[in-house]
A = this chain, B = another copy of it.
Amino acid sequence: MAPAPRADNRLPLVLDAAARLFAEKGYGATSMRDIAGAVGMLPGSLYYHFASKEELLVAVYEEGVRRIKAALAPALAQPGDPWQRLENACAAHLAGLLEGSDYGQVVIRVRPDDAPDVAPRLVALRDEYEHAFSRAIHDLPLPPRTDRRALRLMLLGALNWSQTWYRPGKDSPQALARRFVRLLRDPMEP
C-alpha cells in the first residue's frame, strides 16, 4: 500500500473540491462520494473535517461570501462618481458569479432550502453580501422618492439570474455590468 502523500492539510482541498462540484452540479446532485473521490479520500474520511454535508456547504458558503465581499470591497472603496462605483461593483460581482471562484458561484447557485437544517445560516450569509450593495445604492444621487430597495432587488436579480443564461466568451462581465447600469441610468425617452 502506497503511503498517502500526507500533504498535511487536505481540508482546504476538500473545501475546494466541494466548491467546484457544488458550483458545477448543484448541491443535491453532488454526493459525498463525488467530493471524496475528487480529493482521493474515502467518503467516511470527510467526516473527520465536517460533521455533515450541510456543514460542508456552510463552510463553502462562508468562504464564498468572504470572497464576494473581498471582490466588492475595492470597487466600493473607490472615490468619485457613485454610478461608476456601482458599475464597478456589479462588474466585480458578475466576474465572481460567472467566471471567478467556484465559492462565489455556490452562494448564488445553491438555494438555502436545499439544506434545511442550516438554511437560516445560509440566508444570513447571503444577506451579508447584499448589504454591500445597499450601501452603493444608497450613495447614488437619485430623484427624491426613488425606491432604492426595488432598485437593489432589481439589479441584484438581474445580476444573479445571469448565471442562468451566461455563456463564457460572448459578453464579458464588465461589459454586462456597464450595459445594465446604463439601462438604469440613461433616460429612456428617445
Contacts and interface: CB of A to CB of B under 8 A. Distances in A.
Contacts of A160: 157, 161, 164
Interface stretch (A11-19, A51-59, A68-76, A142-150): A142-150
Place the interface of chain A in its size category. Answer: 35 or more
A165 to B, nearest CB: 6
Give how many copies assemble into the complex.
4
Given A157-B157, A184-B188, 14 more contacts: A26-B113, A26-B114, A28-B28, A140-B188, A141-B189, A142-B188, A144-B190, A151-B183, A154-B154, A154-B158, A156-B161, A157-B158, A160-B161, A187-B189
Contact of A147 (B113, B157, B183, B184): B183
The 8 closest A-B pairs by CB, nearest first: A157-B161, A157-B158, A28-B28, A150-B179, A154-B158, A187-B187, A143-B190, A161-B161
